[in-house]
């Protein structure tokens, strides 16, 4: 597929929401929605590669999701295992570099090993950066970064007066990535739900009614078109206002 002739965002982040509602609408168990959602992940990653996106971050499992029923959490963990086993060959073939951000110590040891192996295997790749936010919470991430800087200041390794937003960002999980230009949330909810809170300060937000299992190549391409149509000012005046006489 030939990439569209449009300026693409450097970093797209997606809150994959609506698996349960997709399943309920079809009188299926929630686990069936999560299984269908994994298919949407696969389709979206392929489409992002074909479009030429440089960075794609997917919100796979939040730190709050541990509160869900154990059967549902177990099903989600099973899907993560299945993804690591089934899709790594294709990611390597597509030259994708995969990373996981979040709190790794709370998941089962075999998943920790799968994460480590997948990151190591795709580390040499030079194509799209695919990041999964897994057992991730934005507030927890910000608190951890603040603790790290506080320890450095306490030990005399850092002058607190030198702390800037740019320095703070280097302590976040996403320090190797540009800030997201576009954050997409599916399923009609209009909130970030603790996802990339610091990083999304100037991101364009796009809320879609589509449930995640129905998100596909066409939906991603349409989202790119909406992004292109927006004027990003980062706090400055727009073109018309900047030329006005005070």
Q: What is the mean pLDDT of residues 31-44?
A: 96
To the query of whether residue 65 is one of the catalytic residues in this protein, the response is yes
Catalytic residue (one of 50, 65, 125, 214)? 65
Domain architecture of the chain: domains with CATH:
16-227 (3.40.1180.10)
More confident residue, 232 or 152: 152
Which residues have C-beta within 8 Å of that of residue 175, sequence separation ≥ 6? Answer: 169
CA 86, 92, 96, 100 torsion-angle sign: positive
Q: What is the mean pLDDT of residues 175-200?
A: 97
pLDDT digit string, tens, across residues 115-145: 999 999 999 999 999 999 999 999 999 999 9
| Separation in Å, CA 3 to CA 49, 99, 179, 199 | 9, 24, 22, 27
Question: Does residue 236 register a pLDDT over 70?
Answer: no
| Least confident segment among 33-37, 225-229, 230-234 | 230-234
* Collapsed DSSP state (helix, strand, coil) of residue 101: strand
Which residues have C-beta within 8 Å of that of residue 236, sequence separation ≥ 6? Answer: 242
Residue of 3, 4, 37, 17 whose CA lies nearest to 206: 17
Categorize the per-residue pLDDT at 104 as very low, low, confident or very high, splitting at 50, 70 and 90: confident
pLDDT at 7: 82
Cβ 100 vs Cβ 83: under 8 Å: no
pLDDT at 207: 98
To the query of whether residue 17 is one of the catalytic residues in this protein, the response is yes
Cβ 55 vs Cβ 100: under 8 Å: no
pTM score, whole prediction: 0.91
Question: Does residue 2 register a pLDDT over 80?
Answer: no
| Separation in Å, CA 158 to CA 22, 147, 166 | 50, 13, 15
pLDDT digit string, tens, across residues 67-101: 999 999 999 999 999 999 999 999 999 999 999 99
Cβ 48 vs Cβ 56: under 8 Å: yes
């Amino acid at each position: 597929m030939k990439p569209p002739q449009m300026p693409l965002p450097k970093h797209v982040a997606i809150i994959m929401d609506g698996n349960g509602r997709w399943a309920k609408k079809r009188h299926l168990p929630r686990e069936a929605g999560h299984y269908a959602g994994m298919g949407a992940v696969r389709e979206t990653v392929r489409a992002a590669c074909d479009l030429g996106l440089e960075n794609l971050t997917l919100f796979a499992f939040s730190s709050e999701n541990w509160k869900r029923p154990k059967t549902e959490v177990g099903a989600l963990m099973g899907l993560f295992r299945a993804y690591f086993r089934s899709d790594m060959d294709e990611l390597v073939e597509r030259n994708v570099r995969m990373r996981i951000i979040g709190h790794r110590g709370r998941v089962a040891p075999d998943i920790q090993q799968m994460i480590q192996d997948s990151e190591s295997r795709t580390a040499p790749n030079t194509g799209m950066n695919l990041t999964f936010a897994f057992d991730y919470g934005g507030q927890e991430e910000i608190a951890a970064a603040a603790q790290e800087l506080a320890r450095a200041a306490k030990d005399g390794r850092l002058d607190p007066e030198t702390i800037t937003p740019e320095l703070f960002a280097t302590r976040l999980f996403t320090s190797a990535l540009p800030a997201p230009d576009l954050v997409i949330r599916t399923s009609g909810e209009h909130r970030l739900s603790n996802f990339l809170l610091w990083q999304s300060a100037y991101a364009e937000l796009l809320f879609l009614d589509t449930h995640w299992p129905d998100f596909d190549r066409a939906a991603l391409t349409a989202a790119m078109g909406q992004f292109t149509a927006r004027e990003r000012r980062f706090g400055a005046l727009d073109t018309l206002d900047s030329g006005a006489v005070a």
